[in-house]
Amino acid sequence: MSNNIAPPESESGLAELRGDCARMAPHWVVPTKIAATPVEPSRIHGVTVPPASARLIDSMSEYGD
């Protein structure tokens, strides 16, 4: 097991990072957003979900509790 310890952050670490990001921002291209069209449930086939996974998702409040 390695005991590598990261060097302490310099005071200018965040400022330097923000500056780097600001310089790179013009190089980043935002792709055109493609709106997904709804699909009829009858066209969805071949998807299987294991029972344990279905129970896990069903028990989560975000997904149908």
Q: What is the mean pLDDT of the chain?
A: 79
- pLDDT at 19 > cutoff 60: yes
Tokens matching residue 20: 């780097």
Round to whole Å and give the CA distance between 12 and 20: 12
At residue 3, the pLDDT reads: 67
**Out of 6-10, 30-34, 45-49, least confident range:** 6-10
Tokens matching residue 41: 């449930």
Domain boundaries, the chain: 11-59
**Contact, 62 vs 55, CB < 8 A?**
no
